[in-house]
Structure formats: C-alpha cells, structure tokens
Amino acid sequence: MFTRILFILGLLAFVACAKNDTLNIEGKLSVKGTSVHTYLNIKDIHTQKNYKIQNKNSFDLINKQNQTIAIQAKLIQTSKNLTLPSLIEVIEIY
C-alpha cells in the first residue's frame, strides 16, 4: 500500500514538473546576420520576440521571406541575452 502511494505521488510530481516547450508563433520571416553568418529569423507580432529557426530547409521556409506566417515550434534553447534570439525548431506551419 505504501509503495502504491509513493508511486502515485511520484507520478503526479513528474507530470506537474513536465513543461511544454511548444510555442505558437505568428510573425514575419526574414534573414538576419552578415555574409556567412546568416540565419532565418521570425519575429512574433504579439510579443515582439525574435526566434532563430534551426530547421529552415525542412519546410522550405527560405522561400517565404518577408511573409507573415503562423507556426508551431519547439523551443530548443532560450536566449540568455536580450540581443540574441532564442533557438526554435518548426513542427508545423498553419
């Protein structure tokens, strides 16, 4: 009985601590950087945050420059600096 209670409490703690790293972003795509160090960026129109897209070739996003699109993305790495964008991986385009 005691082990069942510990198991249930452990399971509840795990579910409570699991965080959702998916984001819904609507924004404009643009290429940022200079010369060799360019990257595809999306700027969220609601929060005004910039996100660097890791898998730009998977959805052929490079051809959608200067267009406003809505995506669902997985947060890979958060930015520790205000000038650098957070890194995301696109899951789906709406």
- The answer to the question of residue 5 being in a domain is no
CB atoms closer than 10 angstroms to residue 7:
10
CB distance 58 to 5 below 8 Å = no
Q: What is the pLDDT of residues 16-57, one digit of tens each?
A: 555 567 899 999 999 998 888 899 999 999 999 999 999 988
pLDDT tops 70 at residue 94? yes
Bridge partners (DSSP) listed for residue 86: 51
| Burial class for 30, CB neighbours closer than 10 Å (0-12, 13-18, 19+) | middle
CATH number of the domain within which 49 lies: 2.40.50
Interatomic CA distance for residues 56 and 70, integer angstroms: 14
Q: 4 vs 32, which has greater pLDDT?
A: 32
- The answer to the question of residue 12 being in a domain is no
pTM for this predicted structure: 0.75
- The answer to the question of residue 63 being in a domain is yes
Residue 70 sits in which domain range? 20-93
